[in-house]
Structure 1
């Protein structure tokens, strides 16, 4: 009986899928647990993807079709979403019916973004890349007006500090990033020598991105550029030539698929998982020595120092 239980336990361990949630839970719970080895259907949690929005509406915020397409494709694949936006007022607000600036209108970017999400939009200064499987930034002129000042000074623009920190820290943590429409211009500025697409409808934007050092590849609305070295995926969306909403939806679906392919355990050269903020939590919870021993048990070998 004991031998049979041990065999079943061994097979169960070998077939376990170690997501970040599994690992975190395993390290901070007692090791001696009563386990039920009866066959069962297990719903695997796929984690959460962060989405940075720039308001609501393509003329002065996030492009709504693009933002909703991101939400639909991710949620269909079982991912949760966390939304972020700078908690500041827009420089300009447009009447989307007349296409004119509403000079007396003052709107908060985070408040406007919440019109799209149906859930809370967090302040962007709360963003920590290690908490997420990926980061995605939809397009819309809010990228050029609220997340940066590209619209004002395209040849030498600056990214909002919180936005730049989010992109750079995510890139440095080797967590995949997806961008569509005009959003890849932020990557051109923040990620040296990255490969992107800004579509095929506005050559001037592509030329600006090239001047920042980016490798720009013309693509149609349904296509993507995957920069595996930088874990960056871009797609034209409404920067394509006369796209339909369905083509935009499909292109963003391809972007989401490619981003998901780049997700998974972030490993260093020795093949060890980067536990990120868990290291800090472990030091406070159980002490670093005990945490290291648990990791060695997980890998089945001593860890390199």
Structure 2
């Protein structure tokens, strides 16, 4: 019997404005399950950058939420591993759904663009997959995290849809942005084993189109395990 691939799913909280994009996270796990892969949700045990009221879109003064606790809302109780306990060596691939939490909690791309920094634990975990030449899938804004993590170490083709500002920032980091016309598209960098798809970088994307892109991304990642 063929080995069942084990995939790390790195989450950034719960909620597209301050954590993981819930639809992207669930669709990622659905695609992995449909393709017969096992997966483990993972998140840092640390506070979010801030908390956003998803009714008003405004920050909640004084509010604090934990990334691991919020990610567990998606993963289900007890099924989200603390990043401090996760090792890339235990997995065959990494897939990262998007959401602003990726650019606010895992790194500071949302605030500093190409001058942003990545949390050291997140950077070490992500880079370990590239160092081991294991496939990585990055969805929505997650390719920006990859761009920061790889800056000065490797150059990769990737997509953030057709956002000119994000494209300029990742190109400044030494990566190669490829514009895509819709959420259904993917970009593959064979040398880096990186597969990216824009998902809700297109704010008005249909949910079905987002799933097409995510499913294609997951399928290509698993082909490279």
Name the structure 2 match of 1:255.
217
Higher relative CO (Cα under 8 Å, sequence separation at least 6) belongs to 2
Name the structure 2 match of 1:71.
29
RMSD of aligned residue pairs (Cα, Å): 1.2
SS of match in other structure, 1:90: coil
TM-score (norm 2): 0.94
Q: Distance in 2 between matches of 1:172 and 1:104?
A: 39
- Is it true that 1:198 corresponds to 2:157 in the alignment? no
Output aligned runs, 1:1-305, within 5 Å.
44-118=2-76, 119-191=78-150, 192-200=154-162, 202-219=163-180, 220-240=182-202, 242-263=204-225
| Structure 2: unaligned runs, 5 residues or longer | none
Residues 234-243 or 88-97, more deviating: 234-243
Q: Distance in 2 between matches of 1:79 and 1:171?
A: 20
8 Å CA contact retained: 1:66, 1:237? yes
Residues 126-135 or 222-231, more deviating: 126-135
Bigger radius of gyration among the two: 1
Q: Distance in 1 between matches of 2:217 and 2:186?
A: 6
8 Å CA contact retained: 1:222, 1:250? yes
Aligned length: 220
Structure 1 ranges of 4+ moved more than 4 A:
none
Q: Distance in 1 between matches of 2:128 and 2:106?
A: 16
The alpha-carbon deviation at position 240 of structure 1 amounts to 2.8
